[in-house]
Amino acid sequence: MQNRWLKKEKKYSFSSQVINVLIWGCLILMALFILMPTLFMFTASFMPASDILKMPYRWIPKDFYWKNYWQGIKGNDGSFIYIRNIFNSLIVAIVVSISTVILSALAGFGLAKYSFKGRSLVFMMIMGTMMIPFEAIMIPLYLVATKLRLQDSYPGLILPFLVNAFGIFLMRQFFITFPDEILDAARIDGASEFMIFRTIILPNSIPAIATLAILTFKAQWDNLLWPLLVVQSEEMKTIPLYIIKFMAEKHTDEGAMMAVAAIASIPILVVFFKLSKYFLSGAALYSSRKG
């Protein structure tokens, strides 16, 4: 009896080893597929164009060809406008992140910790805006922006994104578990409601705030459609618009193109690897979303 059990155990472990190797094979293949294009961008950014489209592709640059980066930053016309465009992207992303955090925290706190008539209706309405795709309202927004002469300005780029329903939802979920006793204790000590928000709620919600700020920053860094509509001058372009313009210019070769793309990606990749836990917890919060 003892023997048979042992035998079975051994057989099982052999087949499980095969499965183990197969699973690792799949995971590694997939990781290669996913990492390859990013790696390609960085290696190609150090090559002259003639090396990039060579068959077969050499993954290690022969010697580091920094000229691509210089051309990318300087621009084909030597105006260094890319630096200004990076600055624009930073301004827009940072301002939107700050305002989203503040407004979402306020509304999330109000919805989580105060009962007032019509609260659930307000909550439903805010959640309802998640159903309105930006693509469906961009034209009316564009018409309003032109009427108010907001094209080609920071307010024009920033205003439509000051807060979003997902942020409010995220903050509300976070605050709902916050103990009421602490808030009541502060009230008894004579703290005003706004002081409670500032001195108790905000300092205690750093993880949620960081998650929301990072996700918002990333979304704005990626925003293409709205800047495409409202921006006209070179000075007000954001990074995605600069990349599109740079791509269309005839002096741009593949190496310079990849250098420009790499410059646009380095900040966000650094933020990602430094603060990866907030990115991952952002996905976690999303998946805890319920009707």
22, 186, 161: which is closest to 101 by C-alpha?
Answer: 161
Q: Does 185 contact other proteins by CB under 8 A?
A: no
Q: Which of 58, 195, 244, 249 binds other proteins (CB under 8 A)?
A: 244
Q: Which is nearer to other proteins, 90 or 103 (CB)?
A: 103
Task: Give backbone dihedrals phi and psi of 77, rounded to 5 degrees, phi first.
Answer: -100, 5
- Among positions 78, 181, 190, 273, the unique one binding other proteins when judged by CB under 8 A: 273
186 binds other proteins (CB under 8 A): no
> Closest separation between CB of residue 80 and other proteins, Å?
20
Q: How many residues bind other proteins (CB under 8 A)?
A: 97
User: At which residue do the structure tokens 């930006």 appear?
Assistant: 134
In this complex, which beta carbon is closest to other proteins, that of residue 74 or of residue 106? 106
CA dist 191 → 102, 185, 188, 197, 199 (Å): 20, 9, 7, 10, 9
Within 10 A of 275 (CB to CB), how many other CB atoms are there?
14
In the bound state with other proteins, the residue whose beta carbon lies nearer, of 34 and 206, is 34
Asked if omega into 56 is within 30° of 0 (cis), the reply is yes
120-159 residues in contact with other proteins (CB under 8 A) are 122, 125-126, 129-144, 159
Q: Which is nearer to other proteins, 74 or 279 (CB)?
A: 279
Residues 208-227 that bind other proteins (CB under 8 A): 218, 221-222, 224-225
Residues 51-110 that bind other proteins (CB under 8 A): 52-57, 103-104, 106-107, 109-110
Binding string, 6-35, against other proteins, x = CB under 8 A? Answer: -----------------xx-xx--xx-xxx
Report the residue count for the chain: 291
Burial pattern 235-252, b for ≥16 Cβ within 10 A else e, equals ebbbbbbbbebbeeeeeb
233 contributes a contact to other proteins by CB under 8 A: no
Q: How far apart are CA 75 and CA 252, in angstroms?
A: 9
